[in-house]
């Protein structure tokens, strides 16, 4: 029998009940119920598809293909972060000389700092920390603290998380405070998307599709709204509009806001 008709995992003939993943692997539908999925590439973790994989003590699940490219050292993280500051600048958002320290952390610390529970729809892989004191909506003191990123992410995914967090940093340094979560996260996901559009690696298409189809009301809807606004005006102008109006520009803004 032609191998195209065999399951890529157990090699038994594929019936009607089969599944094809983003990477073109076709397998019996049942395998997805008991095999773990790689946090980064979404492949089912097994010998045949990914040469196995790892579950880190912090709960992160990574296939062997992705794990080989994992970022574990701060030195390497800092180099990649610098690349991503440049990429954010290509998106039209320049951090200039602003200081953005980075730390690689495990899941426990990430969750502890984020004040979010682990069962929310969005996968928590990075976090931006700043200190803001305000009295009656007026900011009286602020200090940018750091970016935290999950330790061990493969390089390309690290970059994706990094540009998202750098966009939060840009918004903070720019002094745009008290944005709704949907607008701020939507803009940061948009920065990820604009970077992905310039990338050639196969993961880029996979991640773009995930962003476009994300059902989350904040990260998914916020991003899709921001992407629509890009039809009206480029990102730096959109940022100025949001800074003044604390909302996404509508169609009229294109005519009135210069
Ligand atoms: Zn099978
Ligand atoms: Zn993987
Ligand atoms: Zn975010």
| Mean pLDDT computed over 212-240 | 95
Q: How far apart are CA 110 and CA 101, in angstroms?
A: 16
Distance 186 CA to ligand 1 centre (A): 39
Expressed in angstroms and rounded, the spacing between residue 167 Cα and the centre of ligand 3 is 8
92 C-alpha to ligand 2 centroid (Å): 31
Q: What is the mean pLDDT of residues 91-96?
A: 97
Classified as helix, coil or strand, 250 is coil
How many whole angstroms from 154 Cα to the centroid of ligand 1? 28
**Mean pLDDT over all residues of the chain?**
91
pLDDT at 218 over 50: yes
Q: What is the pLDDT of residues 109-153, one digit of tens each?
A: 998 888 765 445 567 899 999 998 888 878 889 999 999 999 999
Average pLDDT of the segment spanning 7-11:
95
Residue 104 backbone zone (phi > 0: left; psi -120 to 50: alpha; other: beta)? beta
Q: In this structure, which ligand is nearest to the CA of 162?
A: 3
What's the gap in Å between 168 CA and the centre of ligand 3?
Answer: 7
Residues near ligand 1 ion, CB 5 Å cutoff: 7, 9-10, 27-28
Q: What is the whole-number distance in angstroms between the Cα of residue 3 and the centre of ligand 1?
A: 12
pLDDT of residue 237 exceeding 90, the answer is: yes
- Per residue in 167-213, pLDDT tens? 999 999 999 988 999 999 999 999 999 999 999 998 899 999 999 99
Instruction: Output the CA 8–ligand 3 centroid distance in Å.
Output: 36
- The confidence score (pLDDT) of residue 119 equals 46
Render the chain in DSSP notation, one character per residue: --GGGB-TTT-PBP-SSEEE-TTS-EEETTHHHHS-B-TTT--B-SHHHHS-EEE-TTS-EEEHHHHTTB---HHHHHHHHHHHHHHHHHTT---TT----EEEE-HHHHHHHHT--TTSSS---EEEEEEEEEETTEEEEEEEEEEEEETT-BHHHHHHHHHHHHHHHHHHHHT--S--HHHHHHHHHHHHHHHHHT--SHHHHHHHHHHHH---TTHHHHHHHHHHHTTTS-HHHHHHHHHHHSS---HHHHHH--
From ligand 2's centre to the CA of 207, what distance in Å? 12
Look up the pTM and report it.
0.89
- pLDDT reported for residue 53: 96
């Amino acid at each position: 029998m032609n191998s195209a008709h065999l399951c890529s995992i157990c090699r038994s003939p594929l019936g009607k009940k089969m599944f094809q993943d983003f990477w073109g692997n076709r397998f019996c539908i049942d395998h997805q119920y008991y095999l773990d999925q790689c946090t980064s590439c979404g492949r089912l973790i097994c010998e045949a598809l990914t040469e196995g994989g790892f579950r880190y003590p912090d709960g992160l699940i990574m296939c062997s293909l992705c794990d080989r490219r994992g970022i574990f050292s701060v030195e390497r993280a800092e180099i990649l972060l610098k690349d991503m500051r440049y990429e954010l600048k290509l998106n039209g958002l320049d951090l200039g000389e602003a200081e953005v320290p980075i730390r690689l952390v495990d899941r426990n610390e990430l969750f502890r700092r984020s004040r979010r529970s682990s069962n929310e729809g969005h996968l928590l892989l990075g976090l931006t920390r700043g200190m803001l004191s305000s009295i009656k909506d007026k900011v009286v003191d602020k200090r940018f603290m750091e970016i935290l990123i999950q330790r061990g992410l493969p390089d390309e995914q690290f970059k994706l998380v990094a540009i998202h967090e750098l966009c939060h940093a840009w918004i903070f340094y720019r002094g745009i405070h008290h944005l709704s979560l949907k607008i701020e996260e939507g803009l940061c996901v948009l920065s990820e998307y604009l970077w992905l559009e310039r990338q050639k690696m196969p993961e880029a298409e996979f991640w773009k599709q995930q962003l476009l189809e994300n059902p989350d009301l904040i990260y998914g809807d916020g991003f899709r709204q921001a992407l629509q606004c890009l039809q009206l005006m480029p990102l730096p102008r959109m940022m100025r509009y949001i800074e003044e109006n604390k909302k996404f520009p509508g169609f009229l803004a294109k005519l009135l806001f210069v």
